[in-house]
């Protein structure tokens, strides 16, 4: 039987980030802005990432051995997770008004490449993650490429926000403090996301990683609603 802790840890983050999405959607409908749109899409993508995995846990047999049944859930989780990171990167650029059009193009191209690769498929093998069967990437080139891209997507928004804080001429302005709040949330969100992806060998470890992710998201949205677009 699948651990109740695993189910709680999965669907709690679905609900929490779904709520964050609702807040940003409400704000966007009242006063549209691209930064709100990017945060909104990032939040809903996080929610969908864990929702897909939650469905796998609930409706697929615990130790399913048919890769063709498991792969759509696994691939969608990767796709939504990548979407969350990409929109967070775009949000960081929008809030700090950093153009970096070449980097935007690189992010989009690599992201589309990932989606195409997930649709086409590649060599995977069955493994056991916690208390359910899961998939792992067999091809080392694909595995290393995915790992590098994920690290890039995670590091990028942190680098943009930290650089803005570093070069800000005044460290006491309200704008500086608001950006600092958002970046604190992004750091925690990134740590939680990476720890979850590292696959702790215990349900408690996974739950802690997801709590860190949720706290990071909460701090991000607090800073976001205090945030006026940087002129």
Residue ranges in the chain assigned as alpha helix (H): 4-30, 34-59, 67-96, 101-120, 140-167, 174-197, 203-226
The tens digit of pLDDT for each residue in 156-171 reads 999 999 998 998 888 7
pLDDT per residue as tens digits for the range 118-173: 888 888 999 877 667 888 889 888 888 888 888 888 999 999 999 989 988 887 77
* Angular region, 199: left φ>0, alpha ψ -120 to 50, beta rest: left
Is the pLDDT at 231 greater than 80? The verdict is: no
Q: What is the count of structural domains for the chain?
A: 1
- Name which of 31, 186, 57 is nearest 130 in CA terms: 57
Full residue range of the structural domain in which residue 48 is found: 4-226
89 domain residue, yes or no: yes
Would residue 200 count as lying in a domain?
Answer: yes
231 belongs to a structural domain: no
Per-residue tokens: 44: 């809903």
**The pTM of the whole model exceeds 0.95:** no
Of the listed ranges 22-31, 89-98, 191-200, the one predicted with least confidence: 191-200
Each residue's pLDDT tens digit, 211-222: 999 999 999 988
Tens digits of per-residue pLDDT, 37-47?
999 999 999 99
Domain CATH for 115:
1.20.1070.10
């Amino acid at each position: 039987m699948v651990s109740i802790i695993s189910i709680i840890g999965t669907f709690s983050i679905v609900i929490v980030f779904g709520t964050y999405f609702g807040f940003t959607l409400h704000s966007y409908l009242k006063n549209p802005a691209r930064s709100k749109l990017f945060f909104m899409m990032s939040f809903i993508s996080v929610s969908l990432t864990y929702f897909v995995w939650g469905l796998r846990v609930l409706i697929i047999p615990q130790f399913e051995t048919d890769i063709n049944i498991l792969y759509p859930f696994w691939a969608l989780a990767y796709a939504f997770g990548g979407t969350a990171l990409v929109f967070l990167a775009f949000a960081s650029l929008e809030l700090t008004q950093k153009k970096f059009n070449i980097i935007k193009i690189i992010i989009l191209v690599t992201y589309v490449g990932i989606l195409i690769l997930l649709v086409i498929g590649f060599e995977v093998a069955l493994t056991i993650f916690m208390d359910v069967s899961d998939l792992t990437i067999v091809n080392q080139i694909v595995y290393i490429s995915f790992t590098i891209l994920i690290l890039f997507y995670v590091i990028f928004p942190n680098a943009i926000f930290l650089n803005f804080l570093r070069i800000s001429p005044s460290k006491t302005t309200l704008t500086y403090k608001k950006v600092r709040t958002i970046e604190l949330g992004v750091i925690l969100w990134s740590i939680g996301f990476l720890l979850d992806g590292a696959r702790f060998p215990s349900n408690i470890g996974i739950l802690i990683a997801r709590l860190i992710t949720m706290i990071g998201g909460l701090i991000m949205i607090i800073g976001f609603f205090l945030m006026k677009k940087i002129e």
